[in-house]
Amino acid sequence: MITPEYIREIVEAELKCDIGEGDITSFSVLTPGCKAEGKIIAKENGIICGLDFAEMAFKLIDDETKFNLFYSDCDKIKKGDIIVEISGNAVSVLSAERTALNFLGHLSGIASLTGKIVEETENYGTKILDTRKTTPGLRFAEKYAVKCGGGQNHRFGLYDMILIKDNHIAAAGGIENVMRKLYRSQKPAVPVEIEITNLDQLEIILKYPVDRIMLDNFTCENVVRAIKIRKEMDSEIPFECSGGITIENAVEYAETCVEFISMGAITHSAPQLDLSLDIEIKKY
């Protein structure tokens, strides 16, 4: 999904928004033709992600800008590490700076938060999933960042997985109607997941060959009960906990040994990783 064409498209749009008709500050105060040498430095520990987006920002402004990488996406970095060295026309470097750091900081922030939660839950065998709660226009980029942090991608959109939610069940006249309609001929060709909100629905769904069951807004106690019911019914359908999962309680849910936890927070609430571009202007 992350192609040079995709990266170019979204970076180009952001540069247009940021620069408009030109960087009037840099043009006003810098000597024409002066050069800049800079370093992007980590101000905190984390996982780096989005280097191709940052490089694209500089290259779209001036393809002669040099971009010397010391790390790759998915690498762990420490406070004080030099991530990349940049050199080129000073106006070009300064014009691309904010767009490059916005992409790099945002995607690294998602990767870093995901990595933290993955590390805290890995002993329980639970997989951390993202959701469709992503920034408009940045879904592929943000889901890529989740993978860089060690998480897994849930469905990308409405087209690659059947996910039956409470509104579908209500509109169809109940969960039994949904199941009968879905499996009236044969199992669908794409994965099927269904969201349930109580244990009575679980006993119905476990009779059908769904690929995954989402336990929506279940307490940890009810997750444990659901796992017990599944065992009693001799089923191996994996469970996914979703709804009300936070950075603070993710470990508590993982302790139930549920197979998956999906969290919107890793994309919509991840703080930017603190990075800075330190620049020295060369007048030659």
- Pinpoint the alpha helices (H) of 122-219: 139-148, 166-172, 175-182, 199-205
Coil, strand or helix: which one is 24?
helix
Tokens found for residue 42? 């980590």
Residue of 165, 166, 252, 259 marked catalytic: 165
Catalytic residue status for 165 = yes
Residue of 39, 98, 132, 225 marked catalytic: 98
Catalytic residue status for 16 = no
Residue of 193, 216, 230, 240 marked catalytic: 216
Catalytic residue status for 282 = no
Catalytic residue status for 216 = yes
Helix 4-19 vs helix 51-61: crossing angle, to nearest 10: 60
Residue of 39, 133, 139, 147 marked catalytic: 133
Q: What is the Cα Rg of the chain in Å? A: 23
Catalytic residue status for 98 = yes
Residue 258: φ, ψ to 5°: -60, 145
Residue of 52, 73, 193, 195 marked catalytic: 195
Q: Concatenated DSSP letters for 59-95? A: HHH-TT-EEEES--TT-EE-TT-EEEEEEEEHHHHHH
| Active-site annotation, residues | 98, 133, 165, 195, 216
